[in-house]
Structure formats: C-alpha cells, structure tokens
C-alpha cells in the first residue's frame, strides 16, 4: 500500500508526499531524503495527490 512521507516539495515547503508501493520514491518525483519528521505539517503535495488519485482510479476500474 501507499505510505505518506513528509518532506520538502519543489519549492522547499514541507508537505506530505505519497510514496510508491516500494517506498523508495515519491509519486511526484521529489527526492526522498531522510529529513526530520514534522508531524505538524498539514499540507499535502498536490502532484502526489493527483498521481495517487490516478493510481486509485486505474486499480478500481
Ligand atoms: Zn509529492
């Protein structure tokens, strides 16, 4: 299943990304690096959300 990962987006802001099923990459293509987890982040990465929805749509159809 897809896990969330908190990290900087393309503009450097911390957001929640969605990881690929093997947990090595983000769906939006941002590098997944080890960064301090900031659970206070409540923003989600828009490209990841769109990609995630596309994945969900393709697996349920
Ligand atoms: Zn992302």
Q: How far is the CA of 49 from the centre of ligand 1 (A)?
A: 7
Q: How far is the CA of 29 from the centre of ligand 1 (A)?
A: 7
What pTM does this model have? 0.82
Specify whether the CB–CB gap between 5 and 16 falls below 8 A. Answer: yes
Interacting residues of 54 by C-beta distance below 8 A, sequence separation 6+: none
Q: In tens digits, what is the pLDDT along the chain, a chain of 61 residues?
A: 789 999 988 888 889 999 999 999 999 999 888 766 666 888 999 999 999 999 999 987 6
Segments forming the whole domain that contains residue 19: 4-60
Number of domains the chain contains: 1
Q: How far is the CA of 61 from the centre of ligand 1 (A)?
A: 24
Interacting residues of 50 by C-beta distance below 8 A, sequence separation 6+: none
Q: How far is the CA of 27 from the centre of ligand 1 (A)?
A: 6
Q: How far is the CA of 52 from the centre of ligand 1 (A)?
A: 10
Q: Which of 61, 12, 54 is nearest to 20 (CA)?
A: 54
């Amino acid at each position: 299943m897809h896990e969330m990962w908190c990290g900087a987006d393309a503009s450097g802001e911390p957001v929640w990304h969605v990881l690929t099923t093997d947990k090595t990459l983000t769906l939006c293509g941002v590098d997944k690096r080890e960064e301090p987890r900031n659970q206070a982040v409540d923003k989600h990465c828009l490209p990841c959300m769109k990609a995630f929805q596309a994945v969900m749509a393709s697996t349920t159809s």
